[in-house]
Structure 1
Amino acid sequence: MEEGKSGEGKKVMVAIDESECSHYALQWALDFLGDTIATSKLILLTVQPLVEFGYVYASTYGAAPVDLIASVQENQKKVALALLEKAKEICANRGVVAETITESGNPKDAICEAVEKLDIQLLIIGSHGKGAVQRVFLGSVSNYCVHHAKCPVLVVRKTA
């Protein structure tokens, strides 16, 4: 990996979500890329999807109540912080200090945008192990990132 354009050294990002596979990817990276991680800036990123209330309230109430929106956003913030704290603890148990970032939006786009904005040299992401049919209908964040992120992407799949 080359040093970042800003001269800050290597930056490695691990995308974290609520799935077991993302935490497995982090653990795998710490175990198998320990030297690279130890000499790089490690960034843990979680993306909270935007919640669409229009379909729930549009026909009945016209718009979602402000307090409901605030409550959902506050809950999402707590979930994001808990995910990142768990990931930081995994890193700390291996003597690695990590920076955490939370973004909002479509995970595919937000991850790729963060890679570019932060000048990441390696993105590590877990694979949910979706089959071909599921990927066609649901999409695949890891597949999207492999094709659109502006850095190498390491997809870690948990094997049986």
Structure 2
Amino acid sequence: MAAQAPPPPPPEQKMMVAIDESECSHYALEWALRNLAPRRLILFTVQPFSPLSYLPVGSPLGPSVASPELIRSVTEHQRQLAQALVDKAKAICAEHGVDAETVIEVGDPKETICEAAEKLNVDLLILGSHSRGPVQRYQS
């Protein structure tokens, strides 16, 4: 049985769709655009924080610490990937006539998404499910 679309939200309700590279994230965005017709939409992505200063680098003498140049390069590459992700999602929104705001943060996705939703005064947070059941969601 197909899920029924919820009633349309109030016109000024602010919604945030947390996106990543997954198919379920893309589906959640498409679902929100089709079923909720948002007027105020924030596309949010979070890049997991990794302590790059301790990035192990292979060496014949054993592991060593990454150079500042390598750290900057990896950080910039991650930023570019995040920007490409939100740009693609923003283009999808534009196809639906929605001019979305984009936000990119760095941190633990679970905590950062919740903090951003609160800080941005979001009325509705939309997430993809990653096909996890309730036990897997609780444990992860």
The Cα shift of 1:132 comes to: 6.2
**Cα distance in structure 2, aligned partners of 1:109 and 1:64:** 27
Partner of 1:52: 51
**Cα distance in structure 2, aligned partners of 1:76 and 1:107:** 15
In structure 1, the gaps of 5 or more residues are 4-8, 140-160
The letter for the 2-side match of 1:73 is T
**Cα distance in structure 1, aligned partners of 2:110 and 2:119:** 14
* Percent of aligned pairs sharing the same letter: 54
Give aligned pairs, total. 127
State TM-score, norm by structure 2: 0.81
Give the counterpart of 1:30 among 29, 33, 51: 33
Report if aligned partners of 2:42, 2:101 keep a CA contact under 8 Å in 1: yes
Which segments of structure 1 move beyond 3 Å, counting only runs of 4 or more?
131-137
**1:126 partner SS:** coil
- Structure number with bigger Rg: 2
Partner of 1:6: none
Partner of 2:4: none
Return closer, same or farther for 1:55/1:84 CA change in 2, 3 Å cut-off.
closer
Partner of 2:5: none
CA-to-aligned-CA distance 1:30-85 (integer Å, 9 cap, x gap): 11111xx13xx21000000112342625x732x32101110111111111011101
**Cα distance in structure 2, aligned partners of 1:66 and 1:17:** 27
State TM-score, norm by structure 1: 0.71
**Cα distance in structure 2, aligned partners of 1:133 and 1:52:** 29
**Cα distance in structure 2, aligned partners of 1:121 and 1:136:** 23
**Do residues 79 (structure 1) and 81 (structure 2) align?**
yes
RMSD between superposed Cα atoms in Å = 2.2
